Amino acid sequence: MLISIVVPCFNEEEILERFHTRVTDEMARLGHEFQLVYVDDGSRDATLELLERVAAADPRARYLSFSRNFGKEAAMLAGLRHAEGDAVVIMDADLQHPPELIGRMLEEHANGHDQVIARRTRKGDRVTRTVAARAYYWLINRLVDVELVDGVGDFRLLSRRTVDAVLELTEYNRFSKGLFSWVGFRATTFSYENAVREQGRSAWTFGKLLNYGLDGLLSFNNKPLRAALYLGLLLLSVALAYATWIVGVAMVRGVDTPGYVTLLVVVTALAGVQMVMVGVVGEYVGRIYYEVKRRPHFLVKASNIGTPQQPHTPQKLLRR
């Protein structure tokens, strides 16, 4: 059985060699045949040079390098496309995903699980981030069809058929957490203690996280559109009830001097609600816009895997 390990790397020069040693040591200990698929996501540091060096020294390492930063989703997709293993493990290059857990994953895989998901605890996270994450997952699980679990990320093992299923989903706006959950198959989850990043720093800023969260919310169904519709109906009925009340009062007590503050508040609030709704619709239109363009998810500038493959060629045709 061949195990592929897919590693998206963005500006990871400080830790890459250590990562490679740790993983290869661990795999040697487990005694499995394996290959590493490094994807350099347009790093601006020496990541590519390091990958070239690592690959020259170790034939089990393959790499490809993007022409610019396309994001981790694209990097994972590229890695999955080029992974030949019977099982594929996706892990971060920053050693926050302990290589020691691969053995556990392989065990669970041998027990017949198609996805073995490592779920990190939130130990060591800032309290604000923990609370925000809790609230987000509470909300999102009420809104989307697929199940998303807090602490569950991209660190997981996928069986060959799961990888093939994920590769069938060719959408441009990729939200992997949801895609992995969407394909189904037999999945199991185990917890591990989160390791603090040793070197470099997380590429996730608050803004990026917020946008990522929104993507998750909007990527799976049209429930936000539904919600907008219901909210509109609710506001309409409130307005109608209020109008009836005003007219009633005016008929009984005569016309009162109307408060312009109330008026102003209602008008601005409604304008705000309308803008939010247009925004929601706009998000979907924007997604359609990107999908219909059918642009490739990434462009490859360097690789030791042979000719860069056509992004839209179905995976089945590519495998030897």
Residues near ligand UDP (CB under 6 A): 8-10, 12, 41, 69, 71-72, 75, 92-94, 96, 202-204
CB of 256 to ligand UDP, least distance (A): 57
Residues 6+ apart with CB under 8 A from 310: none
Between 114 and 298, CB nearer to ligand UDP? 298
Letter string b/e over residues 262-289, b meaning 16 or more CB atoms within 10 A of that residue's CB: eeeeeeeeeeeeeeebeebeebeeebee
The C-alpha torsion from 106 through 137 and 76 to 81, rounded to 10°, is 70
Q: Is there binding between residue 73 and Mg ion (CB under 5 A)?
A: no
Q: Is there binding between residue 108 and Mg ion (CB under 5 A)?
A: no
CB of 281 to ligand UDP, least distance (A): 28
* Residue 288 backbone zone (phi > 0: left; psi -120 to 50: alpha; other: beta): alpha
CB of 269 to ligand UDP, least distance (A): 37
Question: If contact means CB under 5 to 8 A according to the sort of partner, which of ligand UDP, Mg ion, none does residue 9 touch?
Answer: ligand UDP
3-state helix, strand, coil in the chain (%, to 5): 50, 15, 35
Tokens representing 9 are 């790397």
With 0-12 / 13-18 / 19 or more C-beta atoms within 10 angstroms meaning exposed / middle / buried, residue 245 is exposed
Between 69 and 96, CB nearer to Mg ion? 96
Question: If contact means CB under 5 to 8 A according to the sort of partner, which of Mg ion, ligand UDP, none does residue 71 touch?
Answer: ligand UDP
Q: Which of 96, 170, 194, 309 binds Mg ion (CB under 5 A)?
A: 96
**What single string gives the DSSP state of each residue in 274-313?**
HHHHHHHHHHHHHHHHHHHHT--S--EEEESSSSPPPTTS
- Rounded Cα distance between 218 and 207, Å, is 17
CB of 203 to ligand UDP, least distance (A): 4
Question: If contact means CB under 5 to 8 A according to the sort of partner, which of ligand UDP, Mg ion, none does residue 79 touch?
Answer: none
Q: Is there binding between residue 12 and Mg ion (CB under 5 A)?
A: no
Between 140 and 280, CB nearer to ligand UDP? 140
Question: If contact means CB under 5 to 8 A according to the sort of partner, which of Mg ion, ligand UDP, none does residue 8 touch?
Answer: ligand UDP
In the DSSP assignment, the letter for residue 244 is: H
Q: Is there binding between residue 41 and Mg ion (CB under 5 A)?
A: no
- Rounded Cα distance between 65 and 74, Å, is 11
Residues 6+ apart with CB under 8 A from 244: none
Q: Is there binding between residue 154 and Mg ion (CB under 5 A)?
A: no
CA angle 146–210–151, rounded 5-degree value: 50
Question: If contact means CB under 5 to 8 A according to the sort of partner, which of Mg ion, ligand UDP, none does residue 93 touch?
Answer: ligand UDP
Question: If contact means CB under 5 to 8 A according to the sort of partner, which of Mg ion, ligand UDP, none does residue 274 touch?
Answer: none
Tokens representing 276 are 């939010």
Q: Is there binding between residue 94 and Mg ion (CB under 5 A)?
A: yes
Between 181 and 224, CB nearer to ligand UDP? 181
Question: If contact means CB under 5 to 8 A according to the sort of partner, which of ligand UDP, Mg ion, none does residue 114 touch?
Answer: none
The H or E element spanning position 157 is: strand 152-159
Between 10 and 34, CB nearer to Mg ion? 10
**Binding interface with Mg ion (CB under 5 A):** 92, 94, 96
